[in-house]
Amino acid sequence: MARAAYPVAAQKFLCYMTADLLAGSVRRKGPIASATRRKRQALERGQVSESASISSGIAARYATAVFELAKDGDGLDRLEQDVDALDAALSESGDFRRLIRSPIYSRGDQGNAIAAIAAGMNLSGTMANSLGLMASRRRLFVLPQLVIALRRLVADERGEVTAEVRTATTLTDEQRASLAAALKASVRKEVKMNVAVDESLIGGLVVRVGSKMIDTSIASRLAALQNTMNEVG
């Protein structure tokens, strides 16, 4: 009887413990708590990194296919117009971002919606058909990475590099010209800048060119200071 009852009791205990952990009712103190928290944070970072890597891989495959089709059909100028339109929609429309990410929408819902959006945005046949295929395979969630990958492919084809720039405030024409000149001198290629305002930076800017990033934002400095203070404490 005791042997038979043990697995049931153990399972109940594990269920109760898991529920308590999820509810946040289990609290540890001292070094053990810190170590556990650090392990959990490291695991979460690893999961996010793995998910981002998978999304980037899927986007890269679709981007290569779309790019090759566009070169043979609508042309790179038309493709670039499509990419600009999609980038603007992703930045400006919360409904559009929810459409591509939410599991609530069925494949059919996403397909119908993306077809209507493509028509309304006057996207090329190549892009519209590609988005329809992505919807049928539930791959629309990689659209932000697809936009980035396509920009890089177009830039590489033209011998350019693309700089993703986030600024705390809108740059003046003079500031944009100075930044473009500085980046061109640094990479020794023509530089196309995609500039977006991000008020969370507080001040300064963040520039990413390929795998290189320059972060002069005040938000980054404050975060670094906060981390230093936490380590000291």
What's the average model confidence in pLDDT over 24-53?
Answer: 51
When the pLDDT of each residue in the chain is averaged and rounded to a whole number, the result is 79
Is residue 51 scored above 80 in pLDDT?
A: no
Is residue 39 scored above 80 in pLDDT?
A: no
Query: What does the domain layout of the chain look like in residue ranges?
Result: 41-158, 159-233
pLDDT, one tens digit per residue, over 168-188 is: 888 899 999 999 999 888 888
What's the average model confidence in pLDDT over 80-89?
Answer: 94
Is residue 5 scored above 50 in pLDDT?
A: no
pLDDT, one tens digit per residue, over 133-153 is: 999 999 999 999 999 899 889
| Dist. CA 197–CA 204, nearest whole Å | 11
- 220/94: higher pLDDT: 94
Predicted pLDDT at 68: 94
- 149/232: higher pLDDT: 149
| Dist. CA 163–CA 91, nearest whole Å | 17
Is residue 10 scored above 60 in pLDDT?
A: no
| Dist. CA 192–CA 183, nearest whole Å | 10
pLDDT, one tens digit per residue, over 186-207 is: 888 888 888 888 888 888 889 9
Instruction: Give the contacts of 66 (CB within 8 A, at least 6 positions apart).
Output: 79, 126, 127, 130, 146, 150
- Smallest CA-to-CA distance from 34 within 42, 46, 25 is with 42
- CATH of the domain spanning 41-158, picked from 1.10.3720.10, 3.40.50.280, 1.10.520.20, 1.25.40.10: 1.10.520.20
Burial 81-111 (b: 16+ CB within 10 A, else e): bbbebbbebeeeeeebbebbeeeebeeeebb
| Dist. CA 175–CA 98, nearest whole Å | 34
pLDDT, one tens digit per residue, over 14-25 is: 343 333 434 444
Residues written for the chain: 233
Predicted pLDDT at 202: 86
Least confident of 33-37, 65-69, 106-110: 33-37
